[in-house]
Amino acid sequence: MAQCFLDGILPLDGELDAEDIYDSLFAGHPAFEDWPFAKELYDGRLSRLQDVIGKRQKWTDYDTVALKKDREIFPVRQFNSKNEPVWKGSEADTWLRMDIQDELHLTMKPKELWKTRECYQSFSKERFRKRIDQIKQAEKPFGVTPGQEKSRRLGNPKLSLLLNGGGGVVEGGNTEDEEEENEGSS
């Protein structure tokens, strides 16, 4: 229902005919199968939604005007404190993310990739290389150490479990399942 107000299907001001709205928008919708029309319920729900969304829309409009005024006074910085172009949001940032997604960084050295686009050349080679490293690092799974990754690749689940904080490993280095098997065979 709220989306109908946000999309402009239902007005944010004025009277609403709950029965007409239910019949035209929600009667055949699967989400409303268990909620048959009850005038007292739908009148209250629609009026509360209309009030809340109307207030939030006014706040949004106010924030939009305030941000525009703020940006006129304090525009987005084009250069950092070292008088270098700002990377975030730059054309080079967008292109590098696409090039990394296309895995060009795997087929070229950073210096060669840097030469491929003019927008890259407004940044130093060193800074460009560091950005490649940052993007690659951000794509790695969080919390996995090199030792954990190596043990997983080598197929050593005991070591992998041990390095992952013990998850399922008991004294003696055996997993809980192996410990139960040992106890059963005694």
Structure confidence at residue 183 as a pLDDT band (50, 70, 90): low
Q: What pLDDT is recorded for position 161?
A: 57
Contacts of 49 (CB under 8 A, 6+ apart): 1, 2, 5
Q: Do 12 and 57 form a contact (C-beta atoms < 8 A)?
A: yes
How many CB atoms are located within 10 Å of the residue 103 CB? Answer: 9
57-85 average pLDDT score: 92
Region 118-126 average pLDDT: 93
Say what angle helices 125-139 and 91-101 make with each other, to 10 degrees: 50
For residues 95 and 152, which has the higher predicted lDDT (pLDDT)? 95
Task: Look up tokens 């005694």; give the residue.
Answer: 186
Phi, psi of 162, rounded to the nearest 5 degrees: -65, -45
DSSP, collapsed to helix, strand or coil, labels residue 79 as: strand
**CA distance from start to end of the chain:** 64
